[in-house]
Chain A
Amino acid sequence: MSPSMLLQLLVSGLASSFVLLLTSLGLVIILGYMKVVNLAHTEMLMSGAFICYYVYQAAGLPFIVALLVAFAVSFLFGALVERLIICHFYGKMSETLLATYALSILLKQAALLLLGKNYKKVDYPVKTVFQWGPVYLESYKLVVAGLAILSLLLTLLFIYKTKTGRMIRAAMQNRSMTESLGINTKKIDTITFAYGMGLAGLAGAIIAPLSTVTYTLGESWLTNTFMNVVMGGVSSLFGTFASSVLIQESVSVISGLSNSVTAQIIVLLVVIVVVRLKPDGLFTAKERR
Chain B
Amino acid sequence: MPLLTKVRQLPVNRWIDLALFLFLLTFPIWQNTYWVYIMSGIMAYMIFALSLDLLWGYTGLMSMGHSVLFGAGGYMIGIASAWANQADWIKFDQLPWFLAILSQPLGAFLAALFLPGLIALFIGLFMFSGKIRGVFFSLITLALAGISELFVINQSRYTHGDSGITVTSRTLFSNSDSQRLTDQQFYFVVLAFLLGSYLLCLWLVNTRTGKVLQGIRENESRLTYLGYKPAAFKLFIFMLSGMMAGLAGMLFVRVQGSINHSAIGINLATLVLVWVAVGGRGNLTGALIGTLLLQFSETKLNSVFSGISADFAQYWKLVLGLLLLLIVFVIPKGLIGVLLEQQQSRQGRDRKAAIMRKEVHSHDANP
Tell me which of B6-14, B243-251, B313-321 binds A.
Answer: B313-321
Known A95-B332, A223-B146, A265-B147; contact A102-B62, beta-carbon cutoff 8 A: no
Q: A37 CA to B150 CA in the complex, in Å?
A: 23
Tell me which of A57-65, A154-162, A271-279 binds B.
Answer: A271-279
Name A's interface SS.
Answer: helix
Closest to B149 in A: A223
* Cβ B317 vs Cβ A279 within 8 A: no
Is A135 in contact with chain B by the CB < 8 A criterion?
no
* Cβ A279 vs Cβ B131 within 8 A: yes
The one of B139, B277, B315, B321 in contact with A37, judged by C-beta atoms closer than 8 angstroms, is B139
* Cβ A261 vs Cβ B150 within 8 A: yes
* Cβ A97 vs Cβ B64 within 8 A: yes
Nearest Cβ in chain A — how far from B145, in angstroms?
8
Nearest Cβ in chain A — how far from B30, in angstroms?
35
The one of A93, A265, A268, A273 in contact with B135, judged by C-beta atoms closer than 8 angstroms, is A93
Is B89 in contact with chain A by the CB < 8 A criterion?
no
Which residues of chain A come closer than 8 Å to B315, judged between CB atoms? 109, 113
Query: What per-residue 1/0 map shows which CB atoms of B318-340 lie under 8 Å from chain A?
Result: 10111011011100100000000
Is B311 in contact with chain A by the CB < 8 A criterion?
yes
* Cβ A275 vs Cβ B318 within 8 A: no
Nearest Cβ in chain A — how far from B329, in angstroms?
7
- Interface positions, chain A 239-289, Cβ under 8 Å from B, are 259, 261-262, 264-265, 268-269, 271-273, 275-277, 279
Q: A276 CA to B136 CA in the complex, in Å?
A: 10
- Interface positions, chain B 153-211, Cβ under 8 Å from A, are 153-154
* Cβ B332 vs Cβ A105 within 8 A: no
* Cβ A102 vs Cβ B132 within 8 A: no
* Cβ B266 vs Cβ A222 within 8 A: yes
- Residues of A within 8 Å of B, CB-based: how many? 42
Nearest Cβ in chain A — how far from B169, in angstroms?
30
Which residues of chain B come closer than 8 Å to A99, judged between CB atoms? 324-325, 328-329
Is A177 in contact with chain B by the CB < 8 A criterion?
no
Closest to A106 in B: B321
Is B115 in contact with chain A by the CB < 8 A criterion?
no
Which residues of chain B come closer than 8 Å to A272, judged between CB atoms? 140, 143-144
Known A223-B143, A276-B130; contact A265-B150, beta-carbon cutoff 8 A: yes
Q: A103 CA to B329 CA in the complex, in Å?
A: 13
Q: A102 CA to B126 CA in the complex, in Å?
A: 30
Nearest Cβ in chain A — how far from B153, in angstroms?
7
Q: A276 CA to B127 CA in the complex, in Å?
A: 7
Which residues of chain A come closer than 8 Å to B35, judged between CB atoms? none
Which residues of chain A come closer than 8 Å to B146, judged between CB atoms? 222-223, 268
Query: What per-residue 1/0 map shows which CB atoms of B53-77 lie under 8 Å from chain A?
Result: 0001000001010000000000000
* Cβ A102 vs Cβ B147 within 8 A: no
Is A142 in contact with chain B by the CB < 8 A criterion?
no
Q: A48 CA to B325 CA in the complex, in Å?
A: 23
Is B138 in contact with chain A by the CB < 8 A criterion?
yes
- Residues of B within 8 Å of A, CB-based: how many? 42
Known A98-B277, A98-B328, A102-B322; contact A265-B151, beta-carbon cutoff 8 A: yes
The one of B134, B317, B325 in contact with A85, judged by C-beta atoms closer than 8 angstroms, is B325
* Cβ B147 vs Cβ A97 within 8 A: no
* Cβ B318 vs Cβ A113 within 8 A: yes
Known A99-B325, A102-B321, A279-B136; contact A226-B143, beta-carbon cutoff 8 A: yes
Is A230 in contact with chain B by the CB < 8 A criterion?
yes
The one of A97, A103, A230, A279 in contact with B325, judged by C-beta atoms closer than 8 angstroms, is A103
The one of B64, B136, B154, B332 in contact with A230, judged by C-beta atoms closer than 8 angstroms, is B136
Most A C-beta atoms less than 10 A away, residue of B132, B135, B277, B315: B135
Is A89 in contact with chain B by the CB < 8 A criterion?
yes
Is A227 in contact with chain B by the CB < 8 A criterion?
yes
Known A97-B64, A261-B150, A265-B151; contact A230-B139, beta-carbon cutoff 8 A: yes
The one of B126, B132, B150 in contact with A279, judged by C-beta atoms closer than 8 angstroms, is B132
Is B142 in contact with chain A by the CB < 8 A criterion?
yes
The one of B140, B143, B153, B328 in contact with A102, judged by C-beta atoms closer than 8 angstroms, is B328
Q: A103 CA to B318 CA in the complex, in Å?
A: 10
Nearest Cβ in chain B — how far from A272, in angstroms?
6
Q: A29 CA to B315 CA in the complex, in Å?
A: 32
Known contacts A97-B62, A265-B147, then 14 further A-B pairs from the complex at CB < 8 Å, ordered by chain A residue = A93-B134, A99-B324, A99-B328, A101-B270, A105-B321, A109-B314, A109-B321, A223-B143, A226-B139, A261-B150, A261-B153, A261-B154, A272-B140, A272-B143
- Can you offer 27 A-B residue contacts whose CB atoms are under 8 A? A37-B135, A37-B138, A37-B139, A88-B329, A93-B134, A93-B135, A94-B277, A95-B332, A97-B135, A101-B270, A101-B273, A102-B324, A102-B325, A103-B325, A105-B318, A105-B321, A108-B317, A113-B318, A230-B139, A259-B154, A264-B147, A265-B151, A269-B147, A272-B140, A275-B136, A276-B127, A279-B132
A residues apposed to B, CB below 8 Å = 37, 85, 88-89, 92-95, 97-99, 101-106, 108-110, 112-113, 219, 222-223, 226-227, 230, 259, 261-262, 264-265, 268-269, 271-273, 275-277, 279
